[in-house]
């Protein structure tokens, strides 16, 4: 899995090629819904953050079995499932058909691709050799940003993505060293990863990667909201705060990060403050995402845990059975 995390730059470029090869037609849409779960859904969150103020229409992530009640046929639905058998995504694919909206699929195969081919829905084919869906984060991000452009809710940012890939290659060794240091500082504590604006979805990604790869409890939150409630709950808990900052964030958010770090440190919590690096919004988002993936693997290594198996998820799926 370490090789796949370090291959994120290569995945970004390959993803751009795969979307182009799908020969999708541009269609103006009321908005884009990225329907998926887990590692397939996070691409929508990261894409919305990467695009930021460039968005000219809504881009939202749908995690569940149904589309929003207010969705209309003018919306585009990108149904993303690495395996192609995620039951929630299959349900959204059917719901989008009933709605009469435009559908696009991003997957390696499974029932989703079979249904898409049968219905004449375009498919962005993903590589099937990755060890787990969560290692396809670069593919899911690129699919979401490129489809957002095709749906008419954002400009293309392919040049920024390509430049960010080169930046990540340059910083690979530094990222690995940084990840080892962060993992050592976290130790056996329970991480609460906090972001704001650009880094909010990155905080979610850190949390889920630590859960699946290191088999550890972890949580994520977002400023400024966390200052209005969560900050009261840090009394006597074995928690560690990971604060993900962005150099281009709102000045008041920066001040909140500073005061939050001070407050938690005074109460004995471990505080790890990290500022994303990179010249562009896309580069900083991907830098922070790749660092989080590496931290989760460093934590797994420190605990002598195999990051690949997710037995708890497999058992739950087996208990659920097919819908």
* Residues recognised as catalytic: 212, 228, 317
Peptide bond preceding 224 in cis form (omega within 30 of 0): yes
Closest to 244 in 3D by CA, of 296, 279, 294, 192: 192
3-state secondary structure of 273: strand
For residue 10, what are the contacts with CB-CB under 8 A and spacing of at least 6? 165
Are the C-beta atoms of residues 297 and 5 closer than 8 Å to each other?
yes
Angle between helices 158-170 and 137-150 (to 10 degrees): 160
Name the phi and psi angles at 302, rounded to 5: -65, -30
Residue by residue, DSSP assigns 24-48 as PPP---S-EEEE--HHHHHHHHHHH
Closest to 44 in 3D by CA, of 58, 54, 27, 26: 58
Closest to 138 in 3D by CA, of 241, 303, 285: 285
3-state secondary structure of 144: helix
To which residue do tokens 């293309």 refer?
156
């Amino acid at each position: 899995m370490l090789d796949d995390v370090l291959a994120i730059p290569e995945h970004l470029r390959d993803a751009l090629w795969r979307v182009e090869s799908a020969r999708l037609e541009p269609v103006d849409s009321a908005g884009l819904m990225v329907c998926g779960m887990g590692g397939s859904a996070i691409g929508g969150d990261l894409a919305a953050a990467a695009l930021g103020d460039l968005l000219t229409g809504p881009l939202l992530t749908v995690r569940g079995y149904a589309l929003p009640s207010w969705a209309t046929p003018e919306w585009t639905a990108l149904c993303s499932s690495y395996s192609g058998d995620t039951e929630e995504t299959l349900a959204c694919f059917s719901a989008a058909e009933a709605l009469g909206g435009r559908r696009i699929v991003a997957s390696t195969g499974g029932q989703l691709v079979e249904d898409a081919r049968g219905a004449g829905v375009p498919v962005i084919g993903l590589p099937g050799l990755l060890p787990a869906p969560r290692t396809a984060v670069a593919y899911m991000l690129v699919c979401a940003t490129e489809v957002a452009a095709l749906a008419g809710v954002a400009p293309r940012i392919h040049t920024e993505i390509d430049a960010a890939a080169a930046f990540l290659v340059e910083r690979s060794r530094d990222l690995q060293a940084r990840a080892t240091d962060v993992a050592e500082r976290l130790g056996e504590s329970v991480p609460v990863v906090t972001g704001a604006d650009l880094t909010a979805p990155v905080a979610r990604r850190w949390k889920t990667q630590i859960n699946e790869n290191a088999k550890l409890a972890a949580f994520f939150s977002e400023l400024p909201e966390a200052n209005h409630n969560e900050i009261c709950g840090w009394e006597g808990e074995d928690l560690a705060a990971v604060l993900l900052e962005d150099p281009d964030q709102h000045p008041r958010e920066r001040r909140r990060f500073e005061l939050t770090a001070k407050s938690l440190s005074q109460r004995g919590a471990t505080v790890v403050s990290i500022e994303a690096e990179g010249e562009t919004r896309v580069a900083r988002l991907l830098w922070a995402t790749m660092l989080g993936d590496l931290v989760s693997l460093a934590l797994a290594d420190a605990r002598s845990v195999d990051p690949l198996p997710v037995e708890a998820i497999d058992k739950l799926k087996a208990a659920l059975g097919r819908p």
